[in-house]
Amino acid sequence: MAEHDVLIRPVEPGDALGLARVQIDTWRDAYVGVLPDDTLLDLDEMRAAVRWTRVVGSLKVPEALAVAEAHGRAVGFCHGGPGRRTVAEAVDREGPVAEIYALYVDPSFQGLGVGRALLADVTRRLISHGFESLALLTLAENRHGRRFYDHIGGAAGEPIPSVVVGSPADQVPYFWPDMDRLVQRLDAPAA
């Protein structure tokens, strides 16, 4: 990723529609054959933008939401904060665990280091609030995402039966016990 082409920055109130577009485009690219076609076709940018407007407007420390911007438009984002109880249980951790709630990169910007940069930015901000370990859930059938999480040292747990937008879909927890080490790995040149 050429640093001058993509800017990683904190979210702004006007970013909601861009976040919605990135999320929907990413889902439609990554989840074909994983989620029902009707579910993917029914995703609505305006409804998603309203939801992201609420999320952006209600962010509270230590939550972090970073946006990747290229040529004035959002091309990715990462949202993280305190781990939900179900995620901490899935990775079998007592004590505070940070969680990545969402990490999406526009399909045309994938493979360029945008996801690494977004995850590193949010992870650093969560570390600054005292978190030491990190977890996330991803769809078991999300092969591209799972390859990325494996490559950056995530330990995959056992699949968890879930329902995603009304459809049954197993999710796999990923865990990094040392967030400082994760940032070092993310900052290293991609192999």
Residue 2 lies in a domain: no
Walk along the chain (191 residues) and give the pLDDT tens digit of each residue.
444 589 999 999 899 999 999 999 999 998 888 888 888 898 989 999 999 999 999 999 999 999 999 999 999 999 999 998 778 777 777 778 999 999 999 999 999 999 999 999 999 999 999 999 999 999 999 999 999 999 999 999 999 998 888 888 899 999 999 999 999 999 988 76
Residue 139 lies in a domain: yes
Residue 138 lies in a domain: yes
**Domain interval for residue 98:** 7-187
Residue 71 lies in a domain: yes
Residue 87 is predicted with a pLDDT of 80
- What's the number of domains the chain is made of? 1
Q: What CATH number is given to the structural domain containing 36? A: 3.40.630.30
Task: Transcribe 106-135 into DSSP letters.
Answer: -GGGTTTTHHHHHHHHHHHHHHTTT---EE
Residue 1 lies in a domain: no
Residue 160 lies in a domain: yes
Q: What is the pTM of this model?
A: 0.92
Residue 191 is predicted with a pLDDT of 63
Nearest to 13 by CA among 76, 49, 57: 57
Residue 19 lies in a domain: yes
Residue 40 lies in a domain: yes
